[in-house]
Structure 1
């Protein structure tokens, strides 16, 4: 309990938040220009204007900082969308169109910053990071279709949500790598929307 209180106290400290922001900005800029293998803590603290002990107050190493920087950039670019008020009345085709509207801007952002995100995935990706990415997919790219499915409840629905979000994540990563063939963001958004028929069918 004391550890939780201490962490909360640090997070409420404006100096703590400023140093964290400075480190994340520095890491973001460095990853844009260099692979993670080329980025040392010394380079990060010099770019951030903080001390080495301050860095260690926030992160154990550069990969840990890079993972947080990548997620922070995604979350800043795409805050949680407002829920639809007419979910229950959407036709499957209307929902697919709605999914494309959510997914395409995210894909455009990922494509624009392709090198940045791939460097983090390749140099700092771990199980916890991929779980965070799956959570982002379900909360930002496909929020409404998951809300509809969740109304059904049960382990089978939970498994369907997890498999769909995970599959979309891996398909998106392959797309960022240019596999199997380049597609633009709009085409890819339609492709992802087409992968959700089992969930879309729940409102049919």
Structure 2
């Protein structure tokens, strides 16, 4: 990426994060983002079609970086802790760090692009884990192909995690990252968790 494009992306990230923390994302306009970033509307449209999509893309980049270590998670932790303990905490720390942004993206659930970003990233990480460690999955029901079986398992876990995050955001106090992570993990079936 050339330096000018990098500067524009940095300015766009700062602008959308600032605006999304100050007001509902559904009320943020392209003109506001362009003005705050010091760019033209045409330049904005070279990076995104709408403020919600831009916000989701930048949050997604952060989540991708957090989820990268999931690529090397073992099937079992070898301890009483889940293999997902630290990834879950990292995800919740990310949400807590951007609490106002996420809360301003709720109507009462997270808006489509932001929710889809969370669900898609979580599901991708879980699917990759399941494909690497297929032996942990429960047996598929008769008539369900392996790929479909895995996608159903992953969709249930990813959607449930995001719904739990939404409930956590609604409660107000986000200082309980460890307790929230333990609660979400406790709601997960044992076969996912990789405990010794």
Name the TM tier (shorter chain): 0.7 to 0.9
> Which residue number corresponds to residue 141 of structure 2?
none
Q: Is the 8 A contact 2:130 2:136 kept in 1?
A: no
Q: In 1, Cα distance between the equivalents of 2:33 and 2:69?
A: 33
Matches within 5 A, 1:1-204: 14-76=3-65, 78=66, 80-81=68-69, 83-84=71-72, 87-88=74-75, 90-91=77-78, 94=80, 96=82, 98-122=83-107, 125-126=111-112, 129-139=114-124, 144=129, 147-149=132-134, 153-178=146-171, 184-200=176-192
Q: Is the 8 A contact 2:71 2:129 kept in 1?
A: yes
Deviations 1:88-114 (A, max 9, x none): 5545x6452x32222123213312321
Deviations 1:146-188 (A, max 9, x none): 7434875442232111111111111111111118x98821111
Q: In 2, Cα distance between the equivalents of 1:34 and 1:22?
A: 18
Question: Which structure carries more helix by proportion?
Answer: 1
Stretches of structure 1 lacking an aligned partner (at least 5 in a row)? 1-11
CA spacing shift, 1:49–1:141, aligned 2, 3 Å: farther
Deviations 1:2-40 (A, max 9, x none): xxxxxxxxxx55544432332222111221223335533
Higher relative contact order (CA 8 A, sep 6+): 2
Stretches of structure 2 lacking an aligned partner (at least 5 in a row)? 138-145
> Which residue number corresponds to residue 5 of structure 1?
none
Q: TM-score under structure 1 normalisation?
A: 0.71
Q: TM-score under structure 2 normalisation?
A: 0.73
Q: Structure 1 residue 117: deviation in Å?
A: 1.2
Q: In 1, Cα distance between the equivalents of 2:170 and 2:184?
A: 16
CA spacing shift, 1:80–1:63, aligned 2, 3 Å: same
> Which residue number corresponds to residue 140 of structure 2?
none
How many residue pairs align between the two structures? 187
Q: Please provide the CA RMSD for this pair.
A: 3.6
